[in-house]
Chain A
Amino acid sequence: MFRTIPKLWLFSFLLTLQGLAQSVSVQAPADASAGSAFALKTTGGGSATLYLLGPNHILKKNVELGGDLQIAGSDVSASGMYQAVVCFSGECASKEFYVRPAPPARLSFLVHPSRVPVSAPNAINATAIVADRFQNTVLVPTPVEFHFSLAGTVPFTRNQTTTRGIAWLQMGSTAKQGPLEVAASVGDISEPRVIRQVASEACGLRMSATSNARNVRVQTDPIRDCSGNPLPDGTIVSFTKVDQAGRSTVDTPIKKGIAAAQFSVAGPARISIACGVVLGNEISVGGGQ
């Protein structure tokens, strides 16, 4: 009996050694970047199957254990959590690791609205999302420069730093109408957009009248907003006449900066003018102004 105990001990020791030789583990790098190659370290020996499970990709291939397993950058283009799994003789070992985004290389830039009246407070919203070349959101705070330029005015810049990949700003439109170019930039990357700034509501709307025995012709002064921008041709102006015959309205578009209309009048009449929400002066005809 005492002879058999050392034999059993030796046998179990050899089994343990064999088990140790065949135990498998996989180690991932502490810092991996999207699109960059790296190596997984494995222990054990023999042929095994490697699985790399990623957000947008599965890699499955036969590997030899006991050394470094090279992973190409193209296998980790998406940032996020990955699982490296090595299966050997029916047993699998795994390691979860994070692939961080690559440096900034792209900008998603959204500007709203595309058309805005001048001098409107908080009317312009700009949101920039910073991503790497694989469209992974860059989570490291990144400075974004918003550059604004409009012909005939001094360009200006606002700077914002991203939070979780997003930089945004809200601002009023400027006083001059025309195409406002807005560009978001990160380093050498720039995304331009254009906002069309248009004249705001009419300001100081005035008309004058000339009349003969039966007709009155009314005509506005050049119609501008409060910043001096001419309202665009086509903007509708409403002239309303009230006389003995009743009430009559003529809607007419601005042409070459002014609007005009002609009325037949019966006795004394009052004519008023409006453009959008703005009321202008009122004229009395036939009974003296």
Chain B
Amino acid sequence: MNSWVLRLARPIGAVSLTIIAVVSYSAIVVRAASLPRVTLNADSIGPRAIEEKTGESVTRDYAQAWRDLADALATNRNASLNDYFTGIAKARLNQRIADQRNSGLRTQYVDHGHKVKALFYSPDGGEMQLVDQAQIEVQVFDGQKLIYSTNSPQKYLVLMTPGADRWYVRSLESIPDGVLKY
């Protein structure tokens, strides 16, 4: 199996971020100390095949998006959503954060990783649909009081679109098991 390792290092504030992407024909993995682990499987994508570089970008940018999402929901500050979210996904997260702030709530994510399967890549390269089996512990606090927690796997239907230098999460919809039976 052909595989190789890509290392990127760039400073984020005072912290140096290292991304290690292990690429093979069938799976792309992003691991970093400050990024959730994302594994992309594009074996059944269609109608267009995914290029290796595109797969790396999607994987890295999706991981960054989840890091930003977790940060925004934990701090109730939405500035970090500008980098990797757009469209309805961004609008919904902004609304959720505004509601959390007004209600005195916050949501803490402990992200144990995402198994992402690429399902659709349009022939013109303008949209990519993915399904994400996420392993996330979620805790919701009202002030200091824990009101809800779960660590059961959660599935997401994701639509990503390319921008000038990155892929954006345009739609992020949580779905139950079985809803994608079609």
Do A and B come from the same complex? yes
Binds B, one of A136-144, A184-192, A256-264: A136-144
Greatest chain A CB density within 10 A among B95, B142, B147 is at B147
Contacts of A85 in B (CB 8 A): 140, 147-148
- Which A residue's beta carbon lies closest to that of B123? A125
Contacts of A79 in B (CB 8 A): 173
A163 vs B122: C-alpha distance in the bound complex, in angstroms? Answer: 13
Q: How many residues of B contact A (CB 8 A)?
A: 37
Interface of A, secondary structure class, is strand
Option from A51, A53, A80, A170 in Cβ contact (under 8 Å) with B47: A170
Contacts of B99 in A (CB 8 A): 57-59
Q: Write the nearest CB–CB distance from B46 to chain A, whole angstroms.
A: 10
| B129/A164 in contact, CB under 8 A | yes
| A135/B147 in contact, CB under 8 A | no
B11 proximal to A (CB < 8 A): no
B100 proximal to A (CB < 8 A): yes
Contacts of B154 in A (CB 8 A): 81
A55 proximal to B (CB < 8 A): yes
Instruction: Given the known inter-chain contacts A53-B148, A81-B175, A87-B147, please indicate yes or no for A139 contacting B182, CB distance below 8 A.
Output: yes
Contacts of A94 in B (CB 8 A): 148
Question: Scoring A residues 80 to 92 as 1 if CB is less than 8 Å from chain B, else 0, what string do you get?
Answer: 1101010100001
A110 proximal to B (CB < 8 A): yes
A98 proximal to B (CB < 8 A): yes
Q: Write the nearest CB–CB distance from A184 to chain B, whole angstroms.
A: 14
| A56/B147 in contact, CB under 8 A | no
Q: Write the nearest CB–CB distance from B182 to chain A, whole angstroms.
A: 5
